[in-house]
Structure 1
Amino acid sequence: MNEAVKALDLDTVRAFVLIADLGSFTRAAEVMETSQAAISLKLKRLEDRLGCRLIERTPRHVRLSGEGNRFLPGARDLLMAHELALSGIGALPRRRLALGISDHVAGPELPQLLSRLNAYDPSLVIEVRIAASRLLMERFDHNEFDAVIIRRGEEQVDGKRLFAEQFCWFAAPSFQYRAGEPLKLATLAAPCGIRAVAIDTLEQANIPWTEAFVGGGVLALGAAVNAGLAVAALARRVAPAGAIDVGERFGLPPLPALDIVLLSRETDQRSREMLRVLAAAMKGLGE
């Protein structure tokens, strides 16, 4: 890296940090509200300025080069110093983001998602609650959340569409079922929307069912599935390790793909930017 470099364009540094955090030029462009071509140009300007390649880009992956890994901590410090300068002398004020995530959306990537938010704004206090989409929507309407990530159900709520989540029938490999017998189901307690979708799908196909397990969360559903108790309607992302899609094997009707949406209350510029980071990171989960 060229040690003679002095001033850097903050926009190019911000673009680099977003590419590193989101692993995508497209998602970085969404956060900065510009085009992918513009993000590529910003990165090229920064690399030309530094005299080295920061990002290694292939058709399937975006990753940091050795120089990129070494530059990233300093790039974060530079952006934080800029925020400190804008806010005045002293530490940045602690801000809070109250975030609700649907049971059927919060998957194994949640730690990675929180890590990305924290890396982008270490001063942010993140408060996360996981619950049913309907409950989160009600609490959002009562101003209990700054943002919620939920499944779009019959209510057809407004919001930013992040991706479509495919649901399937999952069971343990040892689970046995014979056509004509009631299908043993593991579900979340009513009024879970996915429970309603699963039951409605079976009844429309004239497949008898019985509720064998009711869980208080998707983690509990996964435990019931892996224990061989029942079949559960789950998104592929949140299905427990070892479970298999038994829909075709048991002749079960296909489940729909359901939209995952973000609802938010945008306030100050920094909060709006953080919510764009959140949306971009969530979109990456659906790819």
Structure 2
Amino acid sequence: MKALDIEAVQAFVRVADLKSFTRAAEAMDSAQSAVSLKIKRLEEVLGRRLLERTPRSVRLSAEGLAFLPSARHLLAAHSGALESFGVQPRRLVVGISHHVVGAELPLLLRQMKDAEPRVVMEVRVATSRELLDAFDRGLIDAVVILRHDSRRLDGELLLEEKFGWMAAPDFVHRSGEPLRLATQAEPCSVRSMAVAALAEGKVPWTEVFVGGGVLTVGAAVSAGLAVAALGRRVAPPGTIDVGPALGLPPLPSREVVLHTGVSDPQGRSALRSLSAAIRSTAV
């Protein structure tokens, strides 16, 4: 059997994780056709079909699922071999809005680490305003935030975050009573957006839970305590958008934007992988 091409193995792992040739190509700074060709040749060397392809999706075959752990070990060993020369690690400080990241955080971290194993990542999760302020003061290398207004239009658009009135399936709202709302503490742009929508729709509401982040607000929603304005992509698993059923006003979408001044190859590679991973979670 021929030796395996490391870049082909990397392409396979990227497609397996991101479930998309497009996103894998973006993460690898390559053309989609080149990624497809690498995987095709890898399959030919192995004599196995690793991926099941359809016009709308890509998923691991049984052989691909069996090969994936070994592929990860091979890439880790390759990275370890490169690190044997004692290259000084690059530290990358990335801020991510807690309205942008949810249960997919492990995927984002894995993609960044797989892209540049020698990069030491420092990830901060906070509000978009706090992160953008830290970025402008040079305290953070890159930030992924929600764009709430037109005062700042620079940055790379990653996706449109769609918001809904999220609640547990067994949440009960009694007619005539104020809507029970879970929010984040002020100042919070998503809280302001939700309150403005309710005011415009003349929907009475009462704040029954105030959290210190989307994780705590999501927990209150999952517990059936209240409804919350959350991005559908990052809402807790099992929650549903009760807006249409309760006649609540629609919420506007918001752009998720990457701001960075990073120019070195290692940092750019890690951020490309982060961007591709975030785009792969779009709903």
Length-normalised TM-score, structure 1? 0.85
Structure 1 residues 91 and 188, CA gap change in structure 2 (3 angstroms): same
Which of residues 239, 249, 252 is equivalent to 2:235?
239
Greater relative contact order (CA < 8 Å, ≥ 6 in sequence): 2
Residue pair 1:53, 1:67 contacting (<8 A) in 2 also:
no
Structure 1 residues 241 and 56, CA gap change in structure 2 (3 angstroms): closer
Structure 1 residues 177 and 171, CA gap change in structure 2 (3 angstroms): farther
TM-superposed deviation, 1:116: 2.6
Question: SS of the residue aligned with 2:233?
Answer: helix
1:90 counterpart residue number:
85
CA RMSD of aligned residues (A): 2.5
1:152 counterpart residue number:
147
TM-superposed deviation, 1:233: 0.5
1:136 lines up with 2:131 in the alignment: yes
TM-superposed deviation, 1:108: 0.8
Residue pair 2:9, 2:71 contacting (<8 A) in 1 also:
no
Residue pair 2:99, 2:234 contacting (<8 A) in 1 also:
yes
2:70 counterpart residue number:
70
Q: Which has the larger radius of gyration?
A: 1
Residue pair 2:142, 2:259 contacting (<8 A) in 1 also:
yes
Letter in 1 for 2:70: R
TM-superposed deviation, 1:13: 4.6
Which of residues 81, 100, 113 is equivalent to 1:118?
113
2:268 counterpart residue number:
272
TM-superposed deviation, 1:75: 4.1
Query: Any stretches of 5+ residues in structure 2 without a counterpart?
Result: none
Query: Any stretches of 5+ residues in structure 1 without a counterpart?
Result: none
Give the 5 Å matches for 1:174-253. 174-179=171-176, 181-253=177-249
Residue pair 2:28, 2:273 contacting (<8 A) in 1 also:
no
Letter in 1 for 2:175: R
Question: SS of the residue aligned with 1:240?
Answer: coil
Deviating more after overlay: 9-18 vs 227-236:
9-18
TM-superposed deviation, 1:78: 3.3
How far, CA to CA, are the matches of 1:199 and 1:233 in structure 2?
9
The size of the alignment, in residue pairs, is: 276
Aligned residues: percent identity? 46
How far, CA to CA, are the matches of 1:11 and 1:286 in structure 2?
26
Structure 1 residues 279 and 248, CA gap change in structure 2 (3 angstroms): same
Question: SS of the residue aligned with 2:123?
Answer: strand
Letter in 2 for 1:168: G
Length-normalised TM-score, structure 2? 0.86
